[in-house]
Amino acid sequence: MNFKNKVVVVTGSSSGIGADAAVYLAQMGADVVLVGRNEMRLNDVKNQIISNGSSTPLVIVADVTRDCEKIISKTVEHFGKINVLINNAGILTEDNIENITMEAFDKMIDTNLRSVIQLTQKAIPFLEQTKGNILNVSSTAGMKAVANLMSYCISKASLDQFTKCVALDLASRNIRCNAINPAAIRTPIYRTLGIDSEEEQAIFNTYQSRYPLGRIGEVSDTSAAIAYLTSDAASFITGTLLNVDGGALVAGFD
């Protein structure tokens, strides 16, 4: 797969899945745009990309819930075009129907869904020019109910339907739209639930024992799937939700 002369915007690329995807795509020749709120961590990823000998990425310090216009305009100002939009930024919180507050629900939907709709809409004119594509980072939680992750599951199920609707509506303009649906991937996201490293390891051990392939996912697994779906090798694929889950869903787990 070759991403030479392709401009790839990766939201949430200061950490985890987004950071690794940005480094991986840059290694395949992409001009990468790093987007997140934490400038220090974005610069760490930028330096890693430069030290690999890849092209210098553009860093945009931005909150996806507020700064969609800025993300698109700064990208086009700097690189002149957009070939791929990777909607990866997301949050994970625990809640259920009894304890959810409307403020917490709004924050989840704003971050994991509304921002994706807004950013995608603003990118369309540029993606049309390049016959580009959109990749949404969803979750197996979009396909299966997970206890105490109600608002997260709702956000990802909606993202899956968004992916299919956008694929249908933009196909005639030669813009593809796909998603990956990972199961547990080893990233810092679990620590944002306020757990310590021992509790985090216990979660990973539980998932590992359930998944048919006998391990949890690594960011290299998601990066490989993202690269394939956003590359020209997948030019006949749109509206697809690709499970990156070690067989979890076919075994009935999340």
Q: Considering the complex, state which of residue 39 and residue 232 has its C-beta at the smaller distance from ligand NAP.
A: 39
Residue 15 touches ligand NAP, criterion: CB under 6 A: yes
Q: How far apart are the first and last CA of the chain?
A: 30
In sequence order, the 6+-apart residues with CB closer than 8 A to the CB of 190 are: 92, 200, 203, 204
Q: Considering the complex, state which of residue 27 and residue 65 has its C-beta at the smaller distance from ligand NAP.
A: 65
Residue 81's SS3 state is: coil
Rounded distance, CA 78 to CA 73, Å?
A: 9
Cβ-based neighbour number of residue 74 at 10 Å: 19
Residue 31's SS3 state is: strand
Q: In angstroms, give the least distance from the CB of 251 to ligand NAP.
A: 16
Cβ-based neighbour number of residue 12 at 10 Å: 25
Residue 137 touches ligand NAP, criterion: CB under 6 A: yes
Rounded distance, CA 116 to CA 78, Å?
A: 22
Of 80, 125, 188, 212, the one binding ligand NAP (CB under 6 A) is 188
- Evaluate whether 61 touches 12 at the Cβ level (below 8 Å): no
Residue 118 touches ligand NAP, criterion: CB under 6 A: no
Q: Give the x-and-dash track for 76-115 against ligand NAP (CB under 6 A).
A: ------------xxxxx------------------x----
Q: Considering the complex, state which of residue 128 and residue 218 has its C-beta at the smaller distance from ligand NAP.
A: 218
Rounded distance, CA 120 to CA 108, Å?
A: 18
- Evaluate whether 2 touches 175 at the Cβ level (below 8 Å): no
Cα distances (angstroms) measured from residue 106 to each of 109, 115, 156: 5, 12, 14
Only one of the segments 30-38, 51-59, 126-134, 193-201 lies at the binding site for ligand NAP (rule: CB under 6 A); that segment is 30-38
Residue 32 touches ligand NAP, criterion: CB under 6 A: no
Q: Considering the complex, state which of residue 80 and residue 254 has its C-beta at the smaller distance from ligand NAP.
A: 254
Residue 149 touches ligand NAP, criterion: CB under 6 A: no
Active site residues: 152
Q: In angstroms, give the least distance from the CB of 15 to ligand NAP.
A: 3
Round the CA-based radius of gyration of the chain to a whole number and report it. 17
Q: How many CA atoms lie within 13 A of 205 on its CB side?
A: 6
Only one of the segments 49-57, 73-81, 93-101, 178-186 lies at the binding site for ligand NAP (rule: CB under 6 A); that segment is 178-186
Six-digit token pair at 41?
């961590």
Of 43, 65, 130, 240, the one binding ligand NAP (CB under 6 A) is 65
Residue 12 touches ligand NAP, criterion: CB under 6 A: yes
Residue 144 touches ligand NAP, criterion: CB under 6 A: no
- Evaluate whether 35 touches 64 at the Cβ level (below 8 Å): yes
Q: Considering the complex, state which of residue 100 and residue 174 has its C-beta at the smaller distance from ligand NAP.
A: 100
Residue 18 touches ligand NAP, criterion: CB under 6 A: yes
User: Site residues (CB under 6 A) for ligand NAP?
Assistant: 11-18, 36-38, 41, 63-65, 88-92, 111, 137, 139, 182, 184-185, 187-189, 192
